[in-house]
Each structure stands twice: as structure tokens, then as C-alpha cells.
Structure 1
Amino acid sequence: MATPQENLLDWLRDAHAMEQQAEKMLKAQSERLEHYPELKARIDQHIQETLGQQNLINECLSRLGGSSSTIKDMTGKLMAFGQAVGGSMMSDEVVKGAMAGYVFENVEVATYTVLIAAAEAAGDTQTKTACEQILPQEEAMAKWLLEHLPEITKAFVARSDDPNLEAKK
């Protein structure tokens, strides 16, 4: 059996690894985007949000006497690297990347929803507040991606149909 505090600490480590993965994934995607400036700008904005989220999670971990998990962090970064390499090999990289981003953002939304409830159960108002700060950023990014998927898709299809344009990235 684990106490509410132990569960919270474990899930904060998971969140830390998830944010490490998000940073690597977003940076790889941003570096490759050339023909979709609005998507690139929104990803770059979310990279800055992600760095702030990492700081908030680190503060929570430190305050609770814990630290991040090197194994979880490395696994997350390795997964992000695999996603970046795999994505770069697809002819429709930008569309698949936007779809994957939307899915990932929803995993983050679920994670912070769980962390808020866990912090409340553990009586940790500071962690709850930190996660309540992060959650709307993740929700906003997921919403932005969902709303822009049709536009990204149409831009890709139009570029793909033109032999003089590159559509992939």
C-alpha cells in the first residue's frame, strides 16, 4: 500500500518525465517545420510553457523531498527521439506530428487532472496550485491543435498537390 503522498510523489516523477519528453518532441518538431509558420509559432510558445511547467514540477518534487527519476526521464527522451525520427521519415510528417501532438496534449491534460486530485487527497495545496497553473496551458494547446488540424491538413494537401512545393514539413 502507498500513502497519498507516496502516490503523489511517484506521479510527479511521471509528470517530470512526460515534460522532458514533451520538450524534446516539441523542439524536434519546431526545428523541422519550414512551411507552416503558425504551427511553428504555437509550438515555440508551448516549448516556453513546457520549460515553465518543468520548473513547477521540479519545485514540487524538491519541496516534497523527492527528485526526478533518471530512468523515467531517459525513457521519455528516448521515446521522443523515436517519434522524431519516425516522423521525419513520413511524407506527411506535419499532419502526423500535429495529430500526435494533440494526443500527447490530452495525455498531459489527464495527468494534471490526476495530479490535482492526488495533491488534494494528500493535503498538498502548493502542488495542487502548481498543477492548476499547468492544466489550462495543456488544455489550450490541445484545443489549438484540434481547431487547427483542418487548416494544417488543407495546407498540407495543397502543398502536396503542387510539384513546386514541399509539403512534408
Structure 2
Amino acid sequence: MALDTRSIYITALKNTHALEMQALQIMERQVERLQRYPEMETALRRHIEETHGQRDRLEEALTSLGDGPSALKEGFLGFVGNMMALGHTPAQDEILKNTFANHAFENFEIAAYTSLLTIAEAAGQGGHLAGFRQSLQEEQSMAAKVAELIQPTTVRYLELSASGEKADR
């Protein structure tokens, strides 16, 4: 059975929406634990706000097509997001593991938005392209910010660890 591009577009919207909900779960759990890493905390708090806007743009696109987010995908990915956020908490180097995971996740989102834009264009759904391009740019900016913070976060982790202070978060 062949799928039409509109159906593929709706699925892509639902997948990207579920991905953003997963991102919110991960970031909201992490930001609570960044007392010793203020630059990362600031970046995550800013991106949480951006992600709310990204979610809203995706919901608007789905609503305009007479559809909505997938409760099943959202429930599953929300659970996965919480488990991912909690997965590194027992580690002494939690901050480093989270930084690496955030960098990878941001690049995953960049790929998702690049694909979504391609599908939207193929489906003739140009009405939301500007918003999705904004989302893509926000993800690219956050990926660059996380990459920029890898070295200073690692240095801060080393300093705290060497001084005997709690360095995990």
C-alpha cells in the first residue's frame, strides 16, 4: 500500500512533536541538577523555552491538517526521556555524560527538522516552512552551544573533582 505525501507529512509532524516532548523531559530533569555548571544551566533553560515554541509550531501544523499529536508515541518517548535523564544521575561524571548526550540529541533533532522540511515541501505544505526553519535554526544554535560548552564543562568538572567537591552536577 503506497502512502501519499500528506500522510507521510502528518507522521513526520507527529514524530517530531514526540521528539520535542522527549527533549523537554530530558532537559527539565537535567536543569534541576546543574548548580555547579551555570553556563549549561542557562543554555538549557533558554532552549527549554525555544522547545516550547517548537512544540507549539508542530501542534499548529497538525491542527491545521485536522490531526493532533500521537498519545502513544508521546507517552513512550516521554518515559524514555525521563529514563535517559535519570540514567546518568548515579555516575560521578553525570555532567559529562549528559553533555555528550545533549550534543548527540541536538544533532538528532537537526536531522529530524531537515527531513520534516523536505517532506513538507514534497507534500506541498509550505505554510509552516518558516516556523520549521526557525526550529531548525534553534536546534543548530543549541548544538553549537553545547559543543562550545564541552571544554569549559570538562574543565569545571576536573577542577571540582580535584578539589574534592561534588562535581557530578
Give the TM-score taking structure 1 as reference length.
Answer: 0.97
Residue 65 of structure 1 and its aligned partner are, at CA, apart by: 1.2
Residue 43 of structure 1 and its aligned partner are, at CA, apart by: 0.3
Query: CA–CA distance in 2 between the matches of 1:39 and 1:69?
Result: 31
State the AA in 2 paired with 1:123: G
Residue 156 of structure 1 and its aligned partner are, at CA, apart by: 0.5
State the AA in 1 paired with 2:166: E
- 2:68 aligns with 67
Alignment of 1:4-43 (within 5 A): 4-43=5-44
The 3-state SS of whatever aligns with 1:32 is coil
- 1:52 aligns with 53
Per-residue CA distance 1:45-93 (angstroms, 9 max, x = gap): 0000000100000000000111111110011111111112211111111
Query: CA–CA distance in 1 between the matches of 2:99 and 2:5?
Result: 35
Contact (CA 8 Å) 1:109, 1:135: kept in 2 or not? yes
Contact (CA 8 Å) 1:115, 1:128: kept in 2 or not? no
The 3-state SS of whatever aligns with 2:88 is helix
Residue 102 of structure 1 and its aligned partner are, at CA, apart by: 0.5
Give the TM-score taking structure 2 as reference length.
Answer: 0.97
Query: CA–CA distance in 2 between the matches of 1:3 and 1:34?
Result: 49
Residue 162 of structure 1 and its aligned partner are, at CA, apart by: 1.0
- 2:124 aligns with 123
Query: CA–CA distance in 2 between the matches of 1:74 and 1:126?
Result: 28
Query: CA–CA distance in 2 between the matches of 1:15 and 1:61?
Result: 11
- 1:168 aligns with 168
Per-residue CA distance 1:80-112 (angstroms, 9 max, x = gap): 111122111111111111110000000100000
Unaligned runs of 5+ in 2: none
Per-residue CA distance 1:26-48 (angstroms, 9 max, x = gap): 00000111100111011000000
Query: CA–CA distance in 2 between the matches of 1:75 and 1:89?
Result: 23
Query: CA–CA distance in 1 between the matches of 2:86 and 2:125?
Result: 39
- 1:132 aligns with 133
State the AA in 1 paired with 2:84: Q
State the AA in 1 paired with 2:140: E
Contact (CA 8 Å) 1:116, 1:132: kept in 2 or not? yes
Residue 129 of structure 1 and its aligned partner are, at CA, apart by: 2.0
Residue 126 of structure 1 and its aligned partner are, at CA, apart by: 1.4
Alignment of 1:149-160 (within 5 A): 149-160=150-161
Contact (CA 8 Å) 1:93, 1:168: kept in 2 or not? yes
Answer yes or no: is 1:79 the counterpart of 2:106: no
Runs of 4+ in structure 1 over 3 Å off: none
Contact (CA 8 Å) 1:33, 1:40: kept in 2 or not? yes
- 2:145 aligns with 144
